[in-house]
Amino acid sequence: MSTTIEPTPTPERHAMGKSMKRKEDPRFIRGHGRYLDDFTLPGMLWMSLVHSPYPHARIVKIDKTAALAVPGVVAVLTGEDLAAHNLAWIPTFHGYDKQMVLAVGKVLYQYQEVAGVIASSREIAQDAAELVDVEYEPLDPVVNPFQSRDDKIILRDDRENKTNHIYHWEVGKREETDAAIAASDVSIKERIVFQRCHPAPLEPCGILADMNPATGRLTLYLTSQAPHAHRTVVSLVTGIPEDKIHVISPDLGGGFGNKVPVYPGYVVSAAASVVLGVPVKWIETRTENLTTTGFARDYHMDVEIGASKDGRVTALKVATVADHGAFDAAADPTKYPAGLFGIVTGSYDFPTAFTELDAYFTNKAPGGVAYRCSFRVTEASFAIERGMELLARKLNMDPSELRLLNFVKKEQFPYPSPLGFVYDSGDYHMTLRKALDMIGYEDLRKEQAQKRERGELMGIGISTFTEAVGAGPSKHFDIMGIKMFDSAEIRVHPTGSAILRAGTKSQGQGHETTWAQIAAEELGLDPQNIMVEEGDTDTAPYGLGTYASRSTPVAGAAIAMASRKIREKARKIAAHLLEAAVDDVEWTNYKFQVKGQPDHALTMQEIAFAAYTNPAPDSEPGLEATYYYDPPNLTFPYGAYIAVVDVDRETGAVKVRRFLAIDDCGTVINPMIVEGQIHGGLTEGFAIAFMQEIVYDESGNNLNTNFTEYLVPTSLETPHWETSSTCTPSPHHPIGAKGVGESPNVGSPAAFVNAVMDALAPLGVTHIDMPLTREKVWRAVRDAKGTLSA
């Protein structure tokens, strides 16, 4: 079915574009949210995991005796026990690899799961877990991907190819790009690292697995951003038919990609429930969350940009070493092992480009794709925005001028990038100019010049990112073979309200409100009377879930299209009731009216009632539709962010004085919700830029195992965010919407780093890797100056 594009949004809308208050809030503000740990079932047992203290070791022996002797302990499971049920290994979402559930033979990262204790209370499970006696034979760890590359110590003896190299990926024109850079008047080359970090939602992951021997059904209450995908994976892994598996993803306390993978704790609990025939609950601790669940980033990128002496870019080359940890558990679409990294040409019109990536195993926790990354778009965006900044410095050109000179022009859309994307729409010049104007760029540069004369360090940093979201068209995208469509099912009740179910799963994005707004707009119903449900695989239509900013582009489209199907049927009913030909009935002002006769009109409510009481002939009664939307393309939200910072030269402290974010996500469903998403993402970007990193020391010890070491900024450190928007709708999307959830995380780190580098520019400092800790800045100032006076 071809996509119907509505005309450009009109100012007076019924529900779209309104900052309506969220419909889900009444339960949360009363403390009546239902999160995973709020669920209990009679006879429920608790599971607690045993973790490896070693980053790399053979397992010699596991002695369960002491643990089993603790009163209240029901079972102790190890990898061997799971192997007997073919559950020792599970496929990773990526499909290129598998991962251990409980360690078999060896452990490959510190804190790796080694055994599971099932007991009658949380405390007893933890007490007994301490008593499981595991004997290890430590092996030398490999914690550096460049060291791993040497293959001196092979980590994965379960794999056929005895190498730590996981895969090579490339796209673009290597020779042409190399030649263009070599022939350029000016070029920059820099190693840019995006450090390993972690999404750390406030609610940790968990599961309540309930095998009901009477019904033969396995119900899994699960912290899942993709409940249907999880159901299918569980079925494939366990052999239990999908109709006997019921996944319920309840209210989620944040996701940010952390709740996409399948974790060992889930499998152990589900297996225990199946074997024991009672409910088994596992809620991870914060330490487990930070040390074992999907990390983010850890890309080491060599960025090269060539340009003519007047600043026109000629070529881009990025070569990356990716550290995936012990298993390649990065949740990427199958054909995209490096996600959508190909967006690395960003907002610029590069005549040619080439990017390649090599991924390696190390003795660290598995993962890679998380933390609002849009499938590695965060890494790509950071690389190009830092690269352009370095180029501007080398050319002695204002960074805004360099960008304006090289932006893809409005007329060039749809724009085929040299790395294979077709950008749908954008007006980069307009948005950046708006940002420069709003921040008072000229005045800031004057102020900076004056401050520099006094030796004060003030910086202005720009980030003009374009990201790729909305995965994705079935031609290119699948997760474990399942295409990345999404779905909506809408049923209108006789008295004119409706229920809407979608294949996505909000973790705070407000779908109960925004999905209702889309449908309300399309159907002329009151959004307050459209009940939205997600997360229950027994009732929701199949979808691939919520992550990578795909919900609005894909499920939002499905909602619009399902609504239009309903509208088509409603039109027939209207024609029947109005005694007119179907072709003479049109949808105007949220009513069906006979053309040219506004007083001969019917509301959707009236139609709905008729659908059940007076259906059209040759037509089924009722009024509902389901739509599975296969997007024709990704969408390309973009933005212009500007940060202003002041650096304390004595302590290296950076104060973010101002931050302006202008986002263009096409049609906006609820401006208030979009603004909230921007605030949250900017705060995460701020944390990444200044204080977050998961560090493993040379012995493989994870140094950031709780919130005292892995830092989440508080209300006091967090800057005030100024936000605004422009709107270039997506021409291929039914409501012109592009999605926006990850844009702030994609665009902001470079703005912060560019600002600090700009502040330090007079000292000759060009690049510092994140996080920009006080010490790193202090050291850069001190080394540049020579001595530091008190």
Restricting to residues 16-35, name those near other proteins by CB under 8 A. 21-22, 24-35
Which residue in 99, 110, 112, 225 is the catalytic one?
225
**Contact predicate 303/387, CB 8 Å:** yes
Q: Does 204 bind other proteins (CB under 8 A)?
A: yes
Q: Site residues for other proteins, window 718-747 (CB under 8 A)?
A: 718, 720-721
Which residue in 297, 373, 389, 521 is the catalytic one?
373
Q: Does 122 bind other proteins (CB under 8 A)?
A: yes
The whole-angstrom separation of Cα 769 and Cα 772 is: 7
The whole-angstrom separation of Cα 552 and Cα 558 is: 9
The whole-angstrom separation of Cα 602 and Cα 591 is: 6
246-260 in b/e form (b: 16+ CB < 10 A) is bbbbbbbbbbbbbbb
Q: Which two tokens stand for residue 179?
A: 């030649």
What mask of x and - would describe binding to other proteins in positions 256 to 285, judged by CB under 8 A? x----------------------------x
Q: Does 200 bind other proteins (CB under 8 A)?
A: yes
CB of 532 to other proteins, least distance (A): 16
Q: Does 510 bind other proteins (CB under 8 A)?
A: yes
When the beta carbons of 76 and 687 are compared against other proteins, the nearer one is: 687
- Of the candidate spans 224-232, 332-340, 508-516, 517-525, the one that interacts with other proteins by CB under 8 A turns out to be 508-516
CB of 307 to other proteins, least distance (A): 36
Q: How far apart are the first and last CA of the chain?
A: 71
Q: Does 454 bind other proteins (CB under 8 A)?
A: no
Q: Does 778 bind other proteins (CB under 8 A)?
A: yes
Q: Site residues for other proteins, window 662-721 (CB under 8 A)?
A: 672-673, 675-677, 679-684, 691, 695, 703-704, 706-709, 711-718, 720-721
CB of 537 to other proteins, least distance (A): 21
What phi and psi, each to the nearest 5 degrees, are found at residue 88?
-70, -30
What is the DSSP code (8-state) at residue 551?
Answer: I
CB of 173 to other proteins, least distance (A): 41
Q: Give the C-alpha distances (Å, rounded to integers) separating 390 from 179, 331, 353, 398, 402.
A: 21, 32, 18, 11, 11
When the beta carbons of 517 and 704 are compared against other proteins, the nearer one is: 704
CB of 209 to other proteins, least distance (A): 19
When the beta carbons of 473 and 671 are compared against other proteins, the nearer one is: 671
CB of 504 to other proteins, least distance (A): 15
With CB under 8 A as the rule, give the number of residues binding other proteins: 78
Our answer to whether residue 225 is catalytic in this structure is: yes
Task: Tell me how many helices (H) and strands (E) the chain has.
Answer: 19, 34
Q: What type of residue sits at position 392?
A: A
CB of 148 to other proteins, least distance (A): 23
What mask of x and - would describe binding to other proteins in positions 513 to 552, judged by CB under 8 A? ----------------------------------------
Which residue in 203, 489, 684, 742 is the catalytic one?
742
Q: What string of DSSP letters covers 667-726?
A: S-S-HHHHHHHHHHHHHHHHHHHHT----B-TT--BS--STTTS----TTTSPP-EEEEE
The whole-angstrom separation of Cα 152 and Cα 142 is: 9
119-138 in b/e form (b: 16+ CB < 10 A) is beeeebbebbbebbebebee
Q: Does 130 bind other proteins (CB under 8 A)?
A: yes
Q: Does 42 bind other proteins (CB under 8 A)?
A: no
Which residue in 196, 372, 386, 564 is the catalytic one?
372
Our answer to whether residue 372 is catalytic in this structure is: yes
Residues 6+ apart with CB under 8 A from 223: 36, 203, 204, 205, 206, 207, 249, 252, 255, 259
The whole-angstrom separation of Cα 786 and Cα 781 is: 8
When the beta carbons of 256 and 421 are compared against other proteins, the nearer one is: 256
What mask of x and - would describe binding to other proteins in positions 224 to 253, judged by CB under 8 A? ---------------------------xxx
Query: 3-state class of 105 per DSSP?
Result: coil
Q: Which two tokens stand for residue 354?
A: 């080439």
The whole-angstrom separation of Cα 344 and Cα 336 is: 14
- Of the candidate spans 149-157, 239-247, 453-461, 648-656, the one that interacts with other proteins by CB under 8 A turns out to be 648-656
Q: Which residues are catalytic?
A: 225, 372-373, 742
